[in-house]
Chain A
Amino acid sequence: MSLRKSIAPYLLALPYSLVFILFFLVPLVLVVVVSFWDYTEYSIIPDFIGTNYSDIFGGCIAKLPDLCTAFATYLSTFKYVFLTWIFTLVIGFAVAYFLAFCVTSLPVQIALFLLCTIPFWTSNVIRMISWIPLLGRNGVVNQGLIKAGLISEPIEWLLYSGFSVTLAFVHLYTLFMVVPIFNSMMRIDKSIMEAAYDAGAGGWKTLWNVVVPLCKPGIAIGSIFVITIVMGDFITIGVMGGQQIASIGKIIQVEMSYLQFPAAAANAVVLLLLTLMIIVAMSRIVDIRKEL
């Protein structure tokens, strides 16, 4: 009996542990191993060399202050990460605040929350592609603006541009900010807000001195979601950028398509390390465990 009791928790954890080990840890280790292998146009050779890594940033230091391809690509990826992060954060926080504090009836709260999740019933790609008829050269927006007499020529930067990429990212991933921040906000006791009001804090002061500090774990979790997704993205940037905008994910994908697995693996390891560094830095600032 006691034996069964003592192994029961491990049995419960076993299926997911196996999935985790087989489909996450093992491939990850393989990627790291392969990143040190050698390759030619037609073969991959088990080896232990660092050239895959040095090739990524080859000549980058010497070229400064001009940016080499790798630096420019990372910079471009960071730009989209930052833009997406800042917009999803502001919009997500506002939506979460509205849901948590402005909507007082629970059924309405649940209904509105479901409304936020309904777009997730369709795939990412479809939601992304739906922007094309809207933003294209002869799309709804351009035609509308021309008919309204606001512009005479179609606006070119609406689609296949940094704008459309950022728009698609924000559209796709704001909910990943809303959910954890909303979760943090729902844990804030209503009487704490009243206590702030009683102490003389107005709306903005309460927001800044009470709500934001108490939402930090939610903000951190949402940020990690958004940052990790955008760091590795190549589909959204490809589709919405008209295959014209570089990203790390895109580089890895191209290398894979040329069967340069070791080079792709090395790029993936660098990307993983950078992303992990961002996450570690964030969890240094905010104690996420409180929220779990």
Chain B
Amino acid sequence: MASSTVQAEPRGGVLVLQSLVKKYGSVTAVDDIALTVESGTYCCVLGPSGCGKTSTLRMIAGHEDVSGGDITLDGRSIAGLPPAQRSTAMMFQNYALFPHLDCTDNVAFPLKMRGAAKEQRRRQALDMLDMVQMSDYAKRRPAQLSGGQQQRVALARALIVQPKLLLLDEPLSALDPYLRTAMRAELKALQRELGISFIHVTHSQEEAMALSDLIVVMNNGRIEQSGSPQQLFNRPASEFVAKFIGGHNIISLDNARGCVRSDRMSYTAGGNSTVKSVEYLGRDVRVSVDSGHGPITITARESEFNSQPCQPGDAITLHWDQADVHHFDRQASH
């Protein structure tokens, strides 16, 4: 994939979800969500398993019926259309390449289904394989490729129809950690280069933080919060978001709850809190503490920690600046 950092002009593709509902029998998987994704946005939908993120993606793709509400792309309602007429393309979690076709025919498949002539679709498929740096493997079958290579082919197959919106269902979860980080960067570069929106479903907050222009945190079929990674990290709307994004300590205030970033907390020796464990992480040291607020984690710089070391069992007092306390917009949530 091209490593160019030039951002292409957005190619259209404003996605709007209006009061979207998905019910399976009596179970509500997606509960009346509303969302706008501007064109050219890398959007990650983040949440624990069963939160409705995959159902939402599959409704956008056209692989699940919409139980209520509407989905529009550039103002056109696509909720009732078959997938191929939506200007979207989906990349499946396990890539779902056709085992009986070689890479070229896999990538050319959507064009074949649209009735393109053999020569033309093979030429375009080779161009796409070239874009994802897989042209050397054009004659190989999926079983002869590694996970990362299969993903590139799946990406080429999804992009060959020039969608306005690419939908990715946990695209990195099947890869090993090293490859995951590398592919992550490539996905982001590709999205910038193409200028289309990517909707990427993941349960990894790290992945979402690294990739997104827009993060949508879902829980129990609802959107807990949507915003930029900075907004989510610095102003989590609810306790759930703060916990899910991580790096925050939940504290009880007078008659409400709030949070303080774990790197904004400090401690002094002596007091009524107890050190539970100390983990050396290199740059940082993570100190877990039992306190009146419940479990608290302090992330201290190595030098900071060394100037005032502590051990499990030590009594300490926690400190934080009142200015660093963030009050949740929504208190009732969990």
The residues of A with any CB-CB pair to B shorter than 8 Å are 189, 191-192, 194-201, 205, 209-210, 213-214
Known: A189-B94, A210-B98. 17 other contacts (CB 8 A): A191-B96, A194-B63, A196-B109, A197-B83, A198-B61, A198-B62, A198-B63, A198-B89, A198-B110, A199-B109, A199-B110, A199-B157, A200-B161, A205-B113, A209-B109, A209-B112, A210-B100
Compute how far the CA of A243 lies from the CA of B96 in the bound complex, rounded to whole angstroms. Answer: 54
How many Å from the CB of A100 to the closest CB on chain B?
Answer: 16
Q: Given known contacts A198-B63, A200-B113, A214-B100, is B83 in contact with A191 (CB within 8 Å)?
A: no
Compute how far the CA of A201 lies from the CA of B161 in the bound complex, rounded to whole angstroms. Answer: 13
What residues of chain B lie closer than 8 Å to A192, measured between beta carbons?
A: 96-99
Residues of B contacting A: mostly: loop
Question: Could you tell me if A194 and B92 are in contact, using CB atoms closer than 8 angstroms?
Answer: yes
Compute how far the CA of A291 lies from the CA of B84 in the bound complex, rounded to whole angstroms. Answer: 32
Q: Given known contacts A200-B83, A200-B84, is B98 in contact with A195 (CB within 8 Å)?
A: yes
How many Å from the CB of A233 to the closest CB on chain B?
Answer: 34
Q: When A and B form their complex, what is the total count of cross-chain residue pairs whose Cβ atoms lie within 8 Å?
A: 59
Question: Could you tell me if B114 and A191 are in contact, using CB atoms closer than 8 angstroms?
Answer: no
Task: Give the residue among A191, A195, A201 with the most B Cβ atoms within 10 A.
Answer: A195
Question: Could you tell me if B96 and A195 are in contact, using CB atoms closer than 8 angstroms?
Answer: yes
Compute how far the CA of A192 lies from the CA of B97 in the bound complex, rounded to whole angstroms. Answer: 7
Interface assignment of B75: CB less than 8 Å from any CB of chain A:
no
Query: B107-141 toward A: CB 8 Å interface, digit per residue (1/0)?
Result: 00110111000000000000000000000000000
Residues of A contacting B: mostly: helix
Question: Could you tell me if B100 and A198 are in contact, using CB atoms closer than 8 angstroms?
Answer: no
Question: Could you tell me if B63 and A197 are in contact, using CB atoms closer than 8 angstroms?
Answer: yes
> In the complex, which of the residues A191, A201, A213 contacts B100, with contact meaning CB atoms closer than 8 Å?
A213
Interface size on B, residues (CB 8 A): 23
What residues of chain A lie closer than 8 Å to B84, measured between beta carbons?
A: 197-200
Closest-by-CB residue of A relative to B160 is A199
Compute how far the CA of A209 lies from the CA of B112 in the bound complex, rounded to whole angstroms. Answer: 10
What residues of chain A lie closer than 8 Å to B94, measured between beta carbons?
A: 189, 191
Compute how far the CA of A195 lies from the CA of B106 in the bound complex, rounded to whole angstroms. Answer: 10
Compute how far the CA of A210 lies from the CA of B110 in the bound complex, rounded to whole angstroms. Answer: 12
What residues of chain A lie closer than 8 Å to B112, measured between beta carbons?
A: 209
How many Å from the CB of A289 to the closest CB on chain B?
Answer: 14
Q: Given known contacts A213-B100, A214-B99, is B92 in contact with A195 (CB within 8 Å)?
A: yes
